[in-house]
Structure 1
């Protein structure tokens, strides 16, 4: 088996160390003895990189970089990505990339960027009197389409670090990735975090998120393989003893009841 991971706008949307998510996937795929191909997609890249992708990754950036991406990810590129998502090809979209999944993003300069409009959500940059949302964050997975895959008690909690000025608002609460146990989440008001639809996951969790939450990495890998090969696939267990010990330590430190 081979898995092709497409890292979207790797040179523009990677301000907060989300490259670690790619490293985590590469490591786990190596442990699973699954061949990995990495496609680095950016402004001048061929759309064929999108067409052959089995799994998408995209990170966060500042307003200037997001404006550049907004101008490029249109037309045929947008249509191909939309078709892939409609076919349930999984993806992990962090921070600024998460915002791109929605209808629009209103920048700090009050400039409205039209986004991909794949999910019923919108984002507005913080007002001058509002503070940036920064700090450790713990989210309990509640999305009805995702929760069944995370039955182990501690795996239902996602641990990360948030650092964002944008406030994201979902039109439907059920589309949220989960509820905030610690931290601010989408907007600091409604106790929701992220979005999940059609195997596409948008979130404000850095950390990076996948090294801290290996079960989520395995979910993305498993779904990508199932969609690509059109068959039921169950991954063999990987020794996560150290990762789980660290997760339990952090959850205890954050006073999260498992």
Structure 2
């Protein structure tokens, strides 16, 4: 039951588009409707992170749910009644461009997280959802403190394929490329324990951070195409937050499984 609309912003069969909003409808009767918000796609969207949004939209359709996809950049009006938030990584310059706006939205985003809105924030946004990020030039970019974590710039980059063992989502694979070294505080638990790779800081075997239904992580690749279990976990929490019932359809994830196997077999 795959939907047919495009997620490029150009309306296709079963979908409509206008500025800042895309609608994607499943074929046949929908089991529910989700509103997905992508944060700062103009500045925080590198290393394939847009692919996470594409996967969430498409898998929601395959499971039988209509999706309204909205985006938010500095200066926009923050949409309300959001069921799932996703954001990507960016260079230090991108983080600097959004930092003031993000701080202005801190109370709303924190309230959403506390209320159980599922969120996936990658790399740069993961860092800024923590307390602060100290750059290599000595500049401190304040974060919004949703995740109990702090990041400082390291002397080099942590780059390569990475595999995690998670408590409830099995093995997770991805690709890390970051110079920030993140340390979790007691108010956050790691996304996973590093089996192969460097993770948050290369020393304590943690990767990412979780609080409420929020996942922060350094895993690019993009993350969700190779980890459909994570995508479906986010969608299930989104459906529940919308007041609906998660009723997934069977999906053939053969290609995702093959991609995972290749990623885990490749050297860093």
Normalising by the smaller structure, the TM-score range is 0.7 to 0.9
1:146-180: CA deviations, max 9, x gaps? x2xx3xxxxx1111000001000012396111110
Superposed displacement of residue 52, structure 1: 2.2
Higher strand share: 2
- Residue 61 (str. 1) matches residue 90 (str. 2): yes
Match runs of 1:97-176 below 5 Å: 97-126=125-154, 130-142=155-167, 147=168, 150=169, 156-172=170-186, 175-176=189-190
> Residue 38 in 1 paired to residue 69 in 2?
yes
TM-score, length basis structure 2: 0.84
Determine helix, strand or coil for the equivalent of 1:40.
strand
Which residue pairs with 2:112 in the alignment? 84
The one of the two structures with greater contact order (alpha-carbon pairs below 8 A, sep at least 6) is: 1
> Which piece of structure 1 moves more, 38-47 or 172-181?
172-181
Q: TM-score, normalised by structure 1?
A: 0.87
Q: 1:17 to 1:246 in 2, by over 3 A?
A: closer
Are 2:100 and 1:71 aligned?
A: yes
Kindly indicate whether residue 249 of structure 2 is the aligned counterpart of residue 221 of structure 1.
no
In the TM superposition, residue 117 of structure 1 has moved relative to its aligned partner by 0.9
When residues 32 and 232 of structure 1 are mapped into structure 2, their CA distance, relative to the original with a 3 A threshold, is: closer
Q: What is the total number of aligned residue pairs between the two structures?
A: 236
* Mapped partners of 2:177, 2:260: distance in 1: 20
How many angstroms apart in 1 are the aligned matches of 2:226 and 2:195?
16
Higher helix share: 1
Which stretch has the larger CA shift, 240-249 or 179-188? 240-249
Segments of 4+ moved more than 3 angstroms: 248-251
Structure 1: state its 5+ residue gaps: 151-155
> In 2, distance between residues paired with 1:247 and 1:107?
33
Deviation at 1:241, TM superposition (A): 2.1
